[in-house]
Structure 1
Amino acid sequence: MKKNNSEKENNKPGTAKFVMKGIGEYMRHNYPFLILFFAGLLAVSALNFVKISTAETIANFSLEDFEIGQIADRTIIADRSLPPDNIDPVSVTKGEKIIKKGFAITEEGFAKLKKMSASPLYIDYRAFANSELYLLLLSIMWYLLFTFISVNRKLLFKEPLLQVIFFLAVYAVTAFCGKLSLFSSPYSICIAIPSALFIMIVTILYGNLSALLLSIVLSIGVLCATNWQIPTFLLTLASSLTAAAIVRKIERRLDLVFAGLMIAVFNIVYVLLFSVIFNETFEELPKLMIGLAINGFLSGILTLGFLTPLEIMLNTASVFRLMDLSDTNTPIFKQMQIQANGTYNHSMMVAQLAEVGCREIGANSLLARVGAYYHDIGKMDQSEYFVENQVNGMENKHNDLNPTLSASVIKSHVRKGVEKARQLHLPQAVIDIIAEHHGNSIITYFYNNAKEKDPSLDEDDFRYPGIPPVTKESAVVMLADTVEAACHTLENPTSPRLEKFITILINQKMELKQLDNCDLTFHDISRIKAAFVNLLTGYYHNRIKYQNQQDPDEAPAKTEEAPAAEAPKAAAKEPAKPAVKEAPKAPAKEAAAPKATAEKKASAAAKTVKEKK
């Protein structure tokens, strides 16, 4: 027993050390996000303190706005308890409804309003502590959920930074616009909240999951900023989710205008619905409907205006930017057609394969297509060293190089491709595809040739400098690149042979652990393979040979022999022409003319010489 206890005691320091080491590693790898988390929490805490410290017991209404018997146009709830005193015996209880919207103001209610308006401003530290705890829990929830949705994709610092900025903006607008009489009701404040605008931008730049998370966090933050007004929370959440749902299918920038109109319509529907649910009066309903409609429409217009600068600053692969990059009439592709025509055609085919493969598994097919277009731009500078560009009897440049140098030239196209992509300011997601489309696999052709001469060589000298694909799109581009290149060597590419060959190629990638870092499943790989086979079967389709079709290698020989064989027939058919007599002296004169001219020149030259003497 003593021995077991001692072993447990010895294990405790080891466990603690392991935990501390894990925490240290996590902080070392994620310190920018942790700094952002605490900075955002500090900023929202400052906004919360300012909001509470400037809160008035009677909100921001003047006592002059009320009189006894008047029908109240708002509901006022006491923020704190006020005990009776010698000057004013009226007491006020915290949470008590002093006046209620739609009801007449009584003498008692007016007396309580008077007492509240006469009370000095104060800071409710208890309310501040409660809201701080609430915001802390909200921040932790956001951090954990954001980490969860970023598991299967590469996370850049700019994405959470943008979300923090948007949250702070919404919280500040909600907290301080609520102090204005124009936005005093739980519904009218929604006119000023730009949640739909921010959600539309995030959806386009970073996708649906990121927008969904921000919608939830913004709405919960609004709940705190409005002092727990449920209608404001629900209306903000509904408008945000609607904006995300509408924008996610948009493929043209002009469609953002129509998206704004649709959000405006939905905002009107939501305010009508919540007015009925919460039994609100309809006196200000027309103004609310107009205001919320303007909010929705302006969200679409402002998104259209802010989107292009944000795309450039954040360098994101948004739908609109990818559509622009998918245009093959740009100068870079025109240059590729001239300098590396084989690589250009290869890239176009890889793009088709990658697109259909991603579409089958629900990945971003547009990103895969654009990544495939650009994945080999690094070959443009030394295009003659790549076999697809060696045409018209061009000698293979690698015949004069040793295998190690050849491998260096081949693998350098990845590094050069990344450099060119950065010069073109391509999105980081596209750059990642360029860097990962060969993974860290070995250039087997030159490695095997070199190994025959030197068995002790280092295989890392023949390894691509990248890393295995991290995303589904990058992995599909890798498979498409391999399959398209290899299938050119396959004889008689029928559908069964293509399927077997593609299966071998994909299995080789799996054995080399090139698909370990991405979240492709066996089901995904099976569907990708089927999509590849279907597309390539159509590409390598058969045609019917016409009866009079000639082999181009034999046609020229037959064409040259035809005149000789048909010459006797032509001579026999051609009628005899009458003989023409030629003048017998004409040739003599023509022959003598040059001779006479030469003699004259010689005599003239001799005469000139004599005169000089």
Structure 2
Amino acid sequence: MGFVDAIKRWRLARQGLSSGKKRRVHCENPVVQELEDSFLVRLSLYASFIVAIGIQISISSVESGQENPFSRAISGMILAVTAMAMFHINNQTSCRRNSRAVLVFGGWVVHLMIVQLLMSLGDAGTISEAFRFLFIPFALAPILHAVLLGRTVGAFSAIYVSMLGCFLVPRPDDRLGFLILSLVSGMTGVLLSNQVRKRVQLLRAGLYVGAVSLLVATALGRLDIASCFGPGAVDHLQLLGKGGAAAMGTGIFTALLISGLLPVFEGAFHITTDISWLELSDLNHKLLRRMQLEAPGTFHHSLVVASLAEAAAEKIGANAPLCRVCAYFHDIGKLKKPAYFIENQQDGGENPHDSLTPTMSALIIIAHVKDGVDFAVKHKLNPRIIDVIQEHHGDSMVYYFYRKAQEQKKAELEKVGKGLENPEDLPQVEEKNFRYPGPRPSTRESGIIALADTIESASRTLRKPNPAKIRALVDDLVRAKVNDGQLDECPLTIRELALLKDSFSTTLRSMLHSRIDYPKDEDKSPTGTKRLEAAAQQSPNSGTAGGKQSAAAKMAPKQPATTAWKSDYRSARATEGY
């Protein structure tokens, strides 16, 4: 099919009817998409995980000489089945793709393999009995899943790896201690890994996890503090120091390992963390640098939209770094024909739309969405950015050119009524020709950017803006989007829309605030200086040592001392911008 399309484009290019080029489009591989969404594939993953858990528990039971390894394996598999059910019911939003299930359950299997290995080393005497639990990275899977998939999935992992890990503990007396230590350490890591935006936050989480593990182990009697104050205190202090080093070292190593592996997991499972979004917000990207030079108006518009969207996302708990980065790139398609967009046109300059029909103008305006996708695919931007580029206008209408086309048609109809025009030559004004191709916003972040884009553009039309005008504008534009159905596929609630309107109004008030208009000092202007010098020369008392008040002093406006500093203060405020 692609070969046939290439031949058609070649023929049209030979006839001068085509450039011979085709826009790049973003689409998922159908095979990969089928594997991601297939329910049979997910059932196979569940079954594989349950079998893997049973095998791990049976091997651990045989190595440690436990009785009835088969019954222990069956018990572990039953617990794994409950984990599957809970995961399938409660995590459909964050883990609806099968690759997410692989990430979660694969992380559990690796986590339990490490626990099993350290337990085996403890049984062999390689690790001291007192330190065996302190060397276990209890927070490995919970922190990894919290950073990649959210705090809910991280807490879910902390609970089930703790319960499943109890089956790998050889001695029954140690299982309760293992469960408590694993749960507390895992939950601590999850709580400290919420909205990680810097890698140093992971290191801090590892330090806290190590400290909490040490405290809990001491409380459970794994380390004896009381012996440090009796006979042989030096030996016990050394033992306590080694235990502390083991706990803190394990926590730091866990954090460093996760930090190093994050790029691998992000690339393999197509996940973008807040850390990566902040790295992508660098304005030195090739496309953004090009936009600064070729479309400065669009670049400034994108910066303002990014500020509006980020503040609004913070207000409702959406992904603020994602909104900022996507807002930077949402209008990169305007680089194709920057002069056709009003923000890039100079006042008094030529408007290219004046020589075009409304239909052609609308076609150029609408094309910036497809051109943006083409640029994004070419420069391998994040798929979430491409989704926002496609969705930020939805299937809304280019009203200005639609109304202009209607007015032109009305004028042509009047000519037909006078017999000056042939009715068959009248242009057809169809609404679909003036609508964006869509799709409509499908995520909260995409909906926020769509609203911020519309509000920022419309706010430039306000004359003498004040809080009441700004709030009315925001309310009208949000209501229009809702009435047009542009947010029908977006999971924004009515309450969230109210919070968004408050945020947009607050941010716009800070951006569109008025400055104090302070008078110019005429005496310091060139004309004022010359006028004063001429007056001084004509004055009979000028230049005398003991003469009367000079003409400059007479003409200078008298200002009380109490108001002079206020004038200077206002000038400073206007100049410095505060």
Q: Answer yes or no: same fold by TM over 0.5.
A: yes
2:439 to 439, 456, 467: 467
- Measure how far apart 1:242 and its partner are: 0.9
Does residue 257 (structure 1) correspond to residue 200 (structure 2)? The answer is: no
1:270 corresponds to? 216
User: Where does residue 178 of structure 1 map in the other structure?
Assistant: 119
Deviation at 1:479, TM superposition (A): 0.9
1:414 CA drift (Å) = 1.9
Q: 1:399 to 1:538 in 2, by over 3 A?
A: same
Return the match for 1:141 from 86, 89, 105.
Answer: 86
Q: Matched residues in 1 for 2:135 and 2:378: separation?
A: 41
Distance 1:259 1:333 in 2: 34
Give the superposed CA RMSD.
3.7
The answer for the alignment partner of 2:67 in structure 1 is 79
Superposition deviation, residue 199 in structure 1: 2.8
Q: Name the structure 1 match of 2:506.
A: 534
Offset at residue 146 of structure 1 (A):
1.6
- Partners of 1:160 and 1:54 in 2: CA distance: 25
Do structure 1's residue 246 and structure 2's residue 187 form an aligned pair? Answer: no
Q: CA deviation at 1:299?
A: 0.9
Alignment of 1:86-485 (within 5 A): 124-147=69-92, 156-180=97-121, 181=123, 182=125, 190-191=133-134, 193-226=136-169, 229-248=175-194, 250-275=196-221, 288-451=243-406, 453=409, 457-485=429-457
- Identity percentage over the alignment? 28
- Whole-angstrom CA distance in 2 between matches of 1:281 and 1:435: 67
TM-aligned CA deviation for residue 336 of structure 1: 0.7
Larger radius of gyration between Structure 1 and Structure 2: 1
Deviation at 1:290, TM superposition (A): 3.8
Given the superposition, is the C-alpha separation of residues 177 and 261 from structure 1 closer, same or farther in structure 2, using an over 3 Å criterion?
A: closer
Equivalents in 1 of 2:427, 2:129: separation in Å? 78
Matched residues in 1 for 2:360 and 2:227: separation? 82
Cα pair distance change 1:450/1:133, threshold 3 Å: same
TM-superposed CA distance for 1:298, in Å, is 0.3
Contact 2:134 2:213 in 1 (8 A): no
Give the direction of change, closer, same or farther, for the CA distance of 1:245–1:187 in structure 2 (3 Å limit).
farther
Cα deviation for residue 528 of structure 1 reads 1.9
* Cα separation, partners in 2 of 1:537 and 1:205, compared to 1, 3 Å: same
- Structure 1 residues 206, 129: closer, same or farther in 2, change over 3 A? closer
Distance change >3 Å, CA 548–CA 290, structure 1 → 2? closer
Q: Which residue of 2 aligns with 1:608?
A: none
Deviation at 1:337, TM superposition (A): 0.8
User: Structure 1's 532 and 456: CA in aligned 2 closer, same or farther, altered over 3 A?
Assistant: same
3-state secondary structure, aligned to 1:366: helix
- Matching residue's letter, 2:305: V
Instruction: Find the aligned partners of 2:267 and 2:111 in 1 and give their Cα distance.
Output: 23
Residue 22 (structure 1) aligns with? none
Moved more, 537-546 or 377-386: 537-546
Give the Cα–Cα distance (whole angstroms) in 2 for the partners of residues 225 and 412 of structure 1.
60
Counterpart of 2:29? none
2:48 to 42, 46, 50: 42
- Provide Cα deviations, 1:21-70, integer angstroms capped at 9, x if missing partner: xxxxxx989744651442243144145235415743x825xxxxxxxxxx
Does the 8 Å contact 2:332/2:372 carry over to 1? yes
Q: Deviations over 1:155-180 (max 9, x none)?
A: 55543322122112123333454334
Asked whether the equivalents of residues 310 and 323 of structure 2 are also in contact (C-alpha less than 8 Å), the reply is yes
The 3 A distance-change label for structure 1 pair 157 and 43 is closer
**Could you tell me whether the CA contact under 8 Å between 2:147 and 2:195 is conserved in 1?**
no
- Structure 1 residues 300 and 480: CA distance shift in structure 2, 3 A: same
TM superposition outliers: structure 1 runs of 4+ over 6 Å: 27-30, 183-187, 280-286
Q: Is the 2:302–2:328 Cα contact (8 Å) retained in structure 1?
A: yes
Whether the aligned pair in 1 keeps the contact of 2:392 and 2:441 (CA below 8 Å) is yes
Please tell me the residue identity of whatever aligns with 1:330: H
For the Cα contact (< 8 Å) 2:266–2:273, is it kept in 1? yes
Give the Å deviation of 1:343: 0.2
What's the offset of the Cα at 1:456? 6.0
Return the letter of the residue paired with 1:464: Y
The Cα of 1:511 is off from its aligned counterpart by: 0.2
**Native 8 Å contact 1:41 1:139 kept in 2:** no
Task: Give, as a single letter, the amino acid of the residue that structure 2 aligns with 1:147.
Answer: Q
Task: Judge conservation of contact 1:336–1:343 (CA < 8 Å) in 2.
Answer: yes
Contact 1:174 1:189 in 2 (8 A): no
The count of corresponding residues between Structure 1 and Structure 2 is 466
Task: Tell me the secondary structure at the aligned position of residue 395 of structure 2.
Answer: coil
C-alpha deviations, 1:57-113, integer Å up to 9, x for none? Answer: x825xxxxxxxxxxxxxxxxx625xxxxxxxxxxxxxxxxxxxxxxxxxxxxxxxxx
Does the residue aligned with 1:35 lie in a helix, a strand or coil?
Answer: helix
**8 A Cα contact 1:200 1:243, kept in partner:** yes
The answer on whether the counterparts of 2:49 and 2:105 sit within 8 Å (CA) in structure 1 is no
Query: Partner of 2:463 in structure 1?
Result: 491
Note closer, same or farther for the CA distance 1:547–1:129 as it changes in structure 2 (3 Å cut).
closer
1:467 aligned counterpart, secondary structure:
coil
Change (3 A) 1:247 1:129: closer
For structure 1, which runs of at least 5 residues remain unmatched after alignment?
Answer: 1-26, 61-77, 81-123, 570-613
Larger displacement relative to structure 2 (157-166 or 345-354) = 157-166
AA at the equivalent of 2:200: L
Residue pair 1:385, 1:396 contacting (<8 A) in 2 also: yes
Secondary structure of the residue that 2:491 maps to in structure 1?
coil
Distance 1:225 1:44, change over 3 A: farther
CA offset at residue 549 of structure 1?
A: 8.2
Instruction: For 2:371 and 2:454, locate their aligned partners in 1 and report how far apart those are by CA, in whole Å.
Output: 20
- The match for 2:484 among 512, 516, 523 is 512
Secondary structure class of the residue paired with 2:263: helix
Deviation at 1:387, TM superposition (A): 1.2
Contact 1:316 1:427 in 2 (8 A): no
Q: Is the 8 A contact 1:186 1:232 kept in 2?
A: no
How far apart, in 2, do the equivalents of 1:205 and 1:335 lie? Answer: 32
TM-score (norm 2): 0.71
Pick the aligned partner of 1:52 from 53, 58, 78: 58
TM-score norm. by structure 1 comes to 0.67
Contact 1:199 1:240 in 2 (8 A): yes
Amino acid of the structure 2 residue aligned with 1:481: D
Return closer, same or farther for 1:460/1:254 CA change in 2, 3 Å cut-off.
same
Letter in 2 for 1:211: G
Q: CA deviation at 1:530?
A: 2.2
- Aligned-residue offset at 1:509: 0.3
Paired AA for residue 411 in structure 1: I
Of 470, 475, 499, 1:503 maps to 475
CA distance in 2, matches of 1:511, 1:313: 40
- SS of the counterpart of 1:179? helix
